[in-house]
Homo-oligomer: A and B are copies of this chain.
Amino acid sequence: MSTPAEIGLQRWHAIVESRDPAQLPGMIAADAVFRSPAVHTPQEGREVVCAYLSAALVVLGPELTYTDTWQRENDAVLHFHTVIDGLQVEGIDMITWDDDGVITAFTVMIRPFKALETVIAAMGKQLFG
């Protein structure tokens, strides 16, 4: 039988591959929490988590490659690399799923500093126009 992390990872990779956020709401818990690389305050609730992850798919998506995964029963750390405006971006997604493989927490960290600056600017443009 698949673990919640296995179910969740399969769904997440399908979303990233399609870059179609239509399936996102169904895989995010109503009280899910998103911890962005930009600000300390957690972003709470399905709607706002969907908004951030949808924007991230646009900003990070085109060149996004997952290079490694540390996986447990209900959570995983995914190591990713991407390129934005010619700048190398490295980061991790730390995702927690409930027992049905639905996302309850999603934390993103990015290095180096210049990449984080660029991602924050691009995310701001995507989210707030």
Residues of A within 8 A of B (CB): 35-40, 70-72, 75-77, 79, 88, 90-92, 94, 107-117, 120
Contact = CB atoms under 8 A, between A and B. Distances in A.
Contacts of A109: 90-92, 109-111
Contacts of A40: 88, 112, 114-115
Contacts of A107: 90, 111
A108 B35 CA distance: 17
A102 to B, nearest CB: 20
Instruction: Report the copy number of this chain in the oligomer.
Output: 2
Consensus secondary structure, chain A interface: strand
A112 B108 CA distance: 9
Contact of A37 (B71, B94, B108, B113): B113
B116 A116 contact: yes
B77 A39 contact: no
Most buried by B among A39, A70, A75, A109: A109
Given A77-B70, A77-B77, A38 B91 contact: no
